[in-house]
Structure 1
Amino acid sequence: MDEGKVSFARSGDDLALRFEGSIRYTLAHGLDTFLDQTFTAQPPKSVCIDLNATQSIDSTGIGLLAKITRLLAVAGGGKPVIFSTNDEINELLSALCLDRYCLMVAGSAQMSADEVVPRIEPDEAGMRQTILDAHRTLCELSTGNREQFQSVVDALTREQN
């Protein structure tokens, strides 16, 4: 599996993100930091996410997609648009209720996202916090997600204390 990366482009109030390869928790801290900085400095009003080059995405990555929906709503934007022709990823996103909060488009995105979101190698506590926050956000999407991921949240919370 290809090591994943996330690229971005910004034009005014529009943010484009492209996820490529295997999107795993190891990318999460850099993406989480990027999202916090972006939405704090100058929140976009629209976000397009291209998942067409994504081979796989773990629950932490999906939790960060959920975070984007929340941040965009707080910023007064609309729903993020997710482009994906990968049936497995589309089914996974729908199963975890992302389709309720995003516009899902089964097609190619005509956008450029050339600047790579920097990888940040956090300490163990920082990584645990990022994973915990992503799973808490997933739990907020639906009762089914809460049932599926609450044990992860509980275990990570115990490790913090």
Structure 2
Amino acid sequence: MENGRILVSENNGTYVLKFVGDVRLTLCATLDDFLESMCQSSLLNTILIDLSETEGIDSTSLGLLAKISVLARKKHQLTPVIISTNQDITRILESMGFDKVFVILDSHTSTVEQLRELPIVEGNEALVHAKVLEAHKILMEMNESNKETFRDLVYTLEGDCKHN
């Protein structure tokens, strides 16, 4: 599997994020920094997340995708769009309730040029731990199934925070 990368583009308030390869928690600080600044933009009017070249995605990255939807709805009253052409990825998204908080398309509706790769934000262990915990709490809030699936992990992560 190809190492994960996140490519981005912005044009007149339309933000495109393209996840390429195996997107894992090593990109959580990078993704979280970008989504926080994106959602602060007063020009934000559309968010398109392209997962058509995503080979794998872990639960931390999924939690940060969920955070995009939460922030977009709260701050801009908009529903982001996910393009997922991989049936395995789509099945994961749907099983976790993403179809309730995103519009999920199974084909490209347009091509986006001039994507640039997000520079990697190196996070120390405490920062990465906090991002992983936050991402999984967001996933738990999406539905009861996710709450059950991630309860033990979140409990363990919260315990680790208390011991550090």
TM over 0.5: yes
Q: Provide the aligned C-alpha RMSD in A.
A: 1.3
Map 1:116-135 onto structure 2 (within 5 A): 116-135=117-136
The amino acid across from 1:67 in the alignment is: K
**2:85 counterpart residue number:** 85
Deviation, structure 1 residue 109: 4.5
**2:64 counterpart residue number:** 64
**How many Å separate the matches in 2 of 1:35 and 1:157?**
24
The amino acid across from 1:59 in the alignment is: S
Deviation, structure 1 residue 41: 4.2
Unaligned runs of 5+ in 2: none
**How many Å separate the matches in 2 of 1:112 and 1:99?**
27
Deviation, structure 1 residue 42: 3.6
**How many Å separate the matches in 1 of 2:159 and 2:151?**
12
Does residue 156 in structure 1 map to residue 129 in structure 2? no
Could you state the TM-score of these two structures normalised by the residue count of structure 2?
0.93
Count of aligned pairs between the two proteins: 161
Pair 146,80 (structure 1): closer, same or farther in 2 beyond 3 Å: same
**How many Å separate the matches in 1 of 2:99 and 2:114?**
23
Pair 113,140 (structure 1): closer, same or farther in 2 beyond 3 Å: farther
Is the Cα contact below 8 Å between 1:7 and 1:19 reproduced in 2?
Answer: yes
Deviation, structure 1 residue 44: 1.6
Could you state the TM-score of these two structures normalised by the residue count of structure 1?
0.95
**How many Å separate the matches in 2 of 1:112 and 1:149?**
37
Does residue 136 in structure 1 map to residue 137 in structure 2? yes
**How many Å separate the matches in 1 of 2:140 and 2:88?**
21
Question: Identity rate of aligned residues, in percent?
Answer: 31
Deviation, structure 1 residue 113: 5.4
**1:35 counterpart residue number:** 35
Is the Cα contact below 8 Å between 1:45 and 1:77 reproduced in 2?
Answer: no
4+ aligned runs moved over 4 Å, structure 1: none
